[in-house]
């Protein structure tokens, strides 16, 4: 080659790493390597390696664990806060969907369903009342204005029923949208919770309506239509009514026995329990007396059939109407007894928590209160971090520059005399810390703000628990009052019906029946409304206590329902968590 020609190959390698320590120290290591291959002359090879090490350990400002790991600590705690918020959100969502919250709520829909059933029963009663008045009109027992008055009430009942059905359809569409479903998807509400509110057996309602229609039909028959064949047919139909009535008495007797076997609710006072036991005994005696009357009614009916004579047709006809009215009265008594029994078979889910116990449980297990308490700790920790920034900078500094001998062919021969090692302290006085001082003062304010927010949430939780328990006590008392009101309205209706069977229907008797039907409807609606309000308040109490647990489907789990509770208790029951939850 030419003397000025140079043929060389050079490779450079540079690798390194840095590491932050929990004490706040920083370590930087860099390794540089270079190979030079020369192909001219004697074909020499030269290697050059160099290691740079830089280590800084703060002793005051930005030093040590509580400051160095602050961001990681806060990130971990924020993750925990989000998990708690999500867990509580699921409970809030479950209670809202299940009661009267999101989209109206499931219980709100059941309330409307039961109101519609009450309206349907009211319309049926108004229709029977209208037919009875229409049947009595041709024989001049009732004035035409009374018929028009009953017809007007019947029309108003139909209008209310139609509007209630429309409102239910609208509410159901809103509920489906709240659940994320298209409103056109057909759904069916599970109304099993409403089974206890069937206060009279449908067979009893049907039989009572048939007997009333029978009495009205036979009363309006003209003299020429009254013959022995028609009379015998009437007695046969009355005998069939009598057999059905005896079966209904057996049904009511079984319900009384079921009531008698139920234990008293755990939260009922002694006086109220005694009243219920007294009423239970009275209803048992009344049913036994009613059974005796119906058993005596059979032989009387058979005797009347045997005594049918063509020459005694008027007496036989009057006897038929009299026995029909007696049977109607007995069915009315059975209606009142069964209504009372079934009303008292409805049980409200018990709340066994006392005020202090409920508040203590809530303050220990409320997830949002845990988060707020944790944020107070975070704010206090920020004071420490902010105070650290006001300190002087005092760092331990170590530097090393280690290299190989020039011309060496060993890349790891770090024995060069030119290598350098330095260690020392670096100091910066805290003379200018105005910005840091403002941050420190702001952290003090934020701590006080977080502390007061925690105290406010603590007070709000206690206030919510106290409000929930008060409302539950009020609803329970209102439910007892609604029971008595419904029983009184049922008795009033039966008495009004008995007066309506008289030979002369007056304005007072007609208005009494209409008022009684209205009172029964209002009492039924009040009963279901208070029941829904109680279940909603109970679920809200357990939510405020954070005593609800959800299953894998997100539905409220009820593992501690009392055997006397209705299935509606599945809307929430206190379930202690598996262990004590503490803030980290």
Secondary structure (DSSP) of 194-245: GGGG--S-HHHHHHHHHHHHHHHHHHS--GGG--HHHHHHHHHHHHHHHHHH
- CB-CB contact of 536 with 99 (8 Å): yes
Phi, psi values for residue 347, rounded to 5°:
-120, 135
CA distance 572 to 349: 9
Nearest alpha carbon to residue 334 among 293, 391, 372, 299? 293
Enter the pTM of the model: 0.80
Structure letter (DSSP) for residue 571:
G
Q: Which of 141-157 are b and which e, b meaning 16 or more Cβ less than 10 Å from the residue's Cβ?
A: bbbeebbebbeebbeeb
CA distance 380 to 172: 49
Close Cβ partners of 67 (under 8 Å, ≥ 6 residues apart): 24, 384, 385, 388
Q: Please, what are the averages of pLDDT over each run of 10 residues along the chain (584 residues)?
A: 56 79 85 67 68 88 83 92 94 88 84 94 87 74 82 93 94 90 90 89 87 79 70 87 91 91 75 83 91 88 81 80 86 89 88 89 93 94 89 87 71 67 86 87 94 96 95 91 89 80 64 88 94 92 90 72 42 37 38
Bridge-partner residues for 48, per DSSP?
34
For 150, the token pair is 């009953």
Q: Which residue in the block uniquely carries the two structure tokens 């009033």?
A: 492
From the centroid of its chain, how far is CA 503? 53
Phi, psi values for residue 33, rounded to 5°:
-140, 140
- CB-CB contact of 94 with 554 (8 Å): yes
Nearest alpha carbon to residue 49 among 342, 519, 323, 419? 419
- CB-CB contact of 147 with 162 (8 Å): no
CA distance 153 to 163: 15
In what side-by-side order are the strands of the sheet with 45-58? Answer: 8-20, 26-38, 45-58, 393-403, 420-428
Which helix (H) or strand (E) covers residue 282, if one does? helix 270-306
**Secondary structure (3-state) at 506:** coil
Sign of CA dihedral 337, 338, 344, 345: positive
Q: Which residue in the block uniquely carries the two structure tokens 């006809």?
A: 317
- CB-CB contact of 24 with 42 (8 Å): no
Triad 373, 378, 384: Cα angle to 5°? 135
Bridge-partner residues for 49, per DSSP?
33
- CB-CB contact of 324 with 214 (8 Å): yes
Longest pairwise C-alpha distance within the chain: 162
CA distance 235 to 313: 13
CA distance 557 to 94: 10
Q: What is the tally of helices (H) and strands (E) in the chain?
A: 12, 5
Residues in the chain: 584
- CB-CB contact of 248 with 203 (8 Å): yes
pLDDT of residue 232: 84
End-to-end CA distance of the chain: 77
CA distance 93 to 180: 13
Nearest alpha carbon to residue 374 among 85, 93, 91? 85
CA distance 67 to 277: 70
pLDDT of residue 505: 59
pLDDT of residue 528: 94
CA distance 550 to 562: 19
């Amino acid at each position: 080659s030419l003397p000025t020609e140079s043929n060389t190959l050079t490779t450079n390698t540079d690798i390194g790493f840095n590491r932050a320590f929990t004490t706040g120290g920083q370590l930087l290591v860099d390794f540089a390597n270079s190979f030079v291959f020369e192909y001219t002359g004697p074909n020499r090879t030269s290697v050059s390696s160099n290691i740079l090490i830089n280590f800084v350990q703060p002793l005051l400002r930005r030093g040590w664990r509580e400051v160095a790991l602050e961001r990681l600590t806060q990130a971990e705690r924020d993750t925990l806060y989000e998990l708690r918020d999500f867990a509580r959100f699921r409970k809030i969502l479950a209670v809202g969907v299940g009661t009267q919250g999101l989209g109206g709520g499931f219980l709100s829909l059941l309330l409307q369903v039961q109101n519609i059933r009450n309206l349907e029963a009211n319309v049926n009663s108004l229709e029977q009342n209208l037919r009875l008045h229409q049947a009595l009109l041709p024989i001049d027992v009732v004035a035409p204005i009374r018929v028009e008055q009953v017809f007007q009430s019947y029309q108003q009942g139909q209008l209310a029923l139609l509007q209630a059905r429309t409102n239910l359809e609208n509410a159901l569409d809103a509920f489906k949208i709240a659940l994320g479903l298209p409103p056109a998807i057909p759904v069916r509400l599970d109304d099993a919770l409403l089974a206890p509110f069937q206060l009279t057996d449908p067979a009893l309602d049907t039989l009572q309506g048939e007997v009333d229609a029978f009495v009205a039909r036979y009363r309006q028959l003209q003299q020429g239509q009254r013959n022995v064949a028609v009379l015998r047919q009437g007695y046969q139909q009355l005998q069939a009514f009598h057999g059905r009535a005896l079966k209904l008495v057996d049904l009511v007797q079984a319900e009384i026995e079921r009531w008698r076997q139920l234990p008293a609710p755990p939260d009922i006072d002694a006086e109220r329990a005694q009243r219920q036991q007294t009423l239970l005994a009275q209803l048992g005696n009344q049913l036994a007396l009613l059974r005796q009357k119906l058993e005596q009614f059979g032989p009387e009916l058979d005797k009347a059939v045997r005594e049918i004579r063509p020459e005694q047709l008027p007496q036989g006809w009057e006897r038929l109407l009299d026995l029909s009215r007696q049977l109607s009265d007995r069915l009315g008594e059975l209606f009142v007894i069964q209504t009372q029994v079934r009303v008292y078979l409805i049980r409200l889910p018990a709340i066994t928590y006392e005020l202090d116990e409920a508040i203590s449980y809530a303050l220990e297990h409320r997830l949002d209160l845990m988060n707020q308490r944790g944020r107070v700790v975070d704010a206090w920790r920020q004071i420490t971090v902010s105070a650290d920034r006001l300190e002087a900078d005092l760092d331990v500094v170590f530097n090393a520059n280690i290299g190989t001998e020039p011309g060496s062919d060993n890349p790891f021969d770090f024995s060069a005399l030119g290598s350098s090692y330095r260690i020392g302290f670096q100091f910066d006085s805290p003379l200018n810390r105005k910005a840091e001082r403002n941050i420190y003062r702001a952290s003090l304010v934020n701590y006080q703000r977080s502390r007061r927010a925690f105290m406010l949430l603590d007070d709000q939780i206690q206030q919510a628990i106290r409000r929930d328990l008060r409302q539950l006590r009020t609803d329970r008392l209102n439910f007892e009052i609604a029971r008595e009101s419904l029983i009184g309205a049922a008795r009033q209706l039966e008495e009004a019906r008995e007066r309506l069977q008289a030979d002369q229907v007056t304005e007072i008797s007609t208005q009494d029946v209409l008022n009684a039907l209205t009172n029964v409807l209002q009492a039924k609606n009040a009963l279901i409304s208070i029941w829904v309000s109680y279940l909603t308040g109970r679920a809200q109490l357990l939510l405020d206590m954070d005593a609800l647990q959800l299953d894998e489907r997100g539905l409220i789990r009820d593992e501690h329902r009392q055997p006397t509770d209705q299935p509606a208790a599945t809307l929430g029951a206190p379930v202690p968590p598996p262990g004590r939850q503490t803030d980290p």
